[in-house]
Every structure is written in structure tokens, then in C-alpha cells.
Amino acid sequence: MWFKNLKIYRLCAPWTLFGEALETALSRHAYQTGNNLEMQSLGWVAPREGGPLAHVGNKQILLALRAEKKLLPATVVNQTARSRAQEIEEQQGYKPGRKQMKEIKERVTDELLPRAFSIYRDTHIWIDTANHWLVIDAAASAKADEAIGLLVKTLDPLPLENLFVATSPASAMTGWLAADEVPGNFTIDRDAELRASGESRATIRYVKHALEADEVRRHIQSGKQCTRLALTWADRVSFVLTESLDVKRVAPLDVIKENADAALQNDDEKFESDFMLMTGELAKLMAELVDLLGGEKRG
């Protein structure tokens, strides 16, 4: 149940919505099945099947947003609309104009939507009310924005702000590569991307490749900055840090997996244990990462 990507935000005020009040707020925007008349619909679902809309434990909250999108290819709409336009032309004696053609396409879309296939995507959101983090498991900014948009509609006011650090990740990562080490509990792994800032945007990528210090320094001296860097925290979690402060490809390492309670057979117990383990480890990782980048920068 580990998050694979971390879009990290700050709670700028104490979190006060728990229990029945939180569940009621989420239920107003719960995902509704069977809506055949919208291209896309969003709503909250239970993170754990059969459970509440908000999974809460030890001041940690887990939410799940479901997005349903209808697959209705434009070629199908256009072909059907052209056929419909020909029928109308025969009836009225002249081709439909631009406005009428737009109306035909809209009617065709409405008619075809109930027969369109649906695809579903769930996005998980973790709210750490103890340490004041809000984290979205999303690789793309558009998915994070989608989740925040529904959060804003659901929870008013939402005490959320962007996370800013004193040292830019690109500058810090470039310095770590130049020094061939990272301070604290972090170590450099075998993936990196260095990019020139000029018009050429020349880019060097290392993928599962040893980062030779002298070679990397030559790229840095030529004007390139590190925009992505694979790191390991405390020999416990590996991840990739980006220039925009996104944390990607998060993976717990063997030391965590070995310490997980293998005796837990009940699915509910395992879900709860995994959630507590993940939130505990990632909260520490994020705090140390922010400190490594010079601490938070307040606006």
C-alpha cells in the first residue's frame, strides 16, 4: 500500500476535521456509479473496501479519489455526426452550417455516452495531522491538481499551501554530485539526469549506471545542473528527487520488508500495519529531506 510518488504540501493550520464530521463532508462528494451522461466524474471512495471514506489511525488520514472517464473516440463521434448531417441535408436541401454541425455533434455525443466504455483510476491522499503534511500519490501535476480541486470543494476551508525550501533541489543535487556525497542519512544511487540551461537544453541521463565522479563533474563544469537524482534514505527507502521537489519511484527496501509483521494474517490488520509503517517512515524521510534542502522557506 506504499505510495509510489509524493506530491508534498503543507497544512498551514491545525487539522480539526475528524470522525463523523469528516465522513459527512466526504459523503457529499462520494463517487456515484451509473452516471452515463458525463465524460468524466470524480468522487470519494473507501480506501479500504467495505470501510469508511476516511481511513483514520494514529492522527493519519487516508483518502481515495476515484476518477471515471468515458472512452468515446472522436472518430466515432465524427463519423456518426457526418452520417447524421447527410440525412439532415437530404431533408432540408442544403448542408448544415457550422453552428448546426456543432449541435449535431453534441447530440451524437449525448446519444453515444451511455454505450461508451469506462476506465477508472484511484488517487490516494495521505493527511498527516501530527506533522502537518498533505501528500498525494500522483506522478503528474494534473492528477494532483484534480485531487486538490475536489478537496477544496469537500473541505472548506482547506488549510493547504505549497511547500517551499530554502535551497532549490536542482542546486542542491548538483552540489551533492560535485562532492560525490549527500549529507545526513542519504546516499546517491545509480540514476541521474543533468541538463544544460542554455538554448540547447542538452541532457545527459544515467540509468542504472555508476555515476563516475570525475565524469559528472565535467558535465557540471560545462554548465549542466542535476534535475533528477536517485537517492536512498537511511538504507530504508529509495526514491528519485526532481528539480520541482517531487519525490518519485518510492520503494521500501528489504530492511523494512523484513521488519514488517509477517504474522498478521487478517487483511484489515495488514492494511492498518502497512499504512502505519508507510506513514511513519515517509514522515521522517520528508522531514529530513526538507532539512537537507535548507529548511522550509516561508512566503
Q: Exposed/middle/buried for 9, CB within 10 Å: 0-12, 13-18, 19+?
A: buried
Cell of 194: 543533468
Closest CA to 64 of 127, 123, 151, 147: 123
- Give me the pLDDT at residue 109, please: 77
Q: Is the pLDDT of residue 140 over 60?
A: yes
Q: What is the per-residue pLDDT across 196-217, written as a single tens digit (0 to 9) for each?
A: 987 778 999 999 998 998 999 9
What does the longest C-alpha to C-alpha distance in the chain come to? 79
Q: Cα separation of 299 and 72, whole Å? A: 44
Residue 98: band (very low, low, confident or very high) from pLDDT cuts 50, 70, 90: confident
What are 130's three cell numbers? 501530527
Q: Quick one: pLDDT band at residue 299, thresholds 50, 70, 90?
A: low
Confidence band, pLDDT 50/70/90 cuts, at residue 89: confident
CA dihedral 204→208→212→216, nearest 10 degrees, is 20
pLDDT digits 0-9 by tens, 20-57: 999 999 999 999 875 666 767 899 999 998 899 999 99
Task: Give the Cα separation of 216 and 190 in Å (integer).
Answer: 12
- pLDDT at residue 127 tops 80: yes
- Looking at per-residue pLDDT, the higher value among 55 and 92 belongs to 55
- 249-265: average pLDDT: 76
Residue 139 DSSP label: S
Integer angstrom CA distances of residue 255 from 34, 245, 260, 274: 44, 26, 9, 14
Residue-level pLDDT at 51: 93
- The mean pLDDT value of the chain amounts to 90
Sheet strands side by side (includes 186-196) = 203-206, 186-196, 224-233, 237-242, 247-252
Checking if the pLDDT of 119 tops 90, the result is no
**pLDDT surpassing 70 at residue 263:** no
278: exposed, middle or buried (C-beta count within 10 Å: 0-12, 13-18, 19+)?
Answer: buried
- The model's confidence at residue 73, banded by pLDDT at 50, 70 and 90, is confident
CA distances from 234 to 79, 177, 179 (A): 58, 18, 19
Higher pLDDT residue, 275 or 299?
275
pTM of the entire predicted model: 0.85
pLDDT at 178: 95
The pLDDT value recorded for residue 172 is 97
Distance CA(132)–CA(60), nearest Å, equals 10
How many whole angstroms separate alpha carbon 61 and alpha carbon 214? 46
Q: Mean per-residue pLDDT for 58-65?
A: 96
Task: State the pairing for strand pair 203-206/60-71.
Answer: unpaired
pLDDT tens-digit map of 265-295: 678 888 998 999 999 999 999 999 999 999 9
pLDDT(156) > 70: yes
Greater confidence (95 vs 244) lies with: 244
pLDDT of residue 7: 98
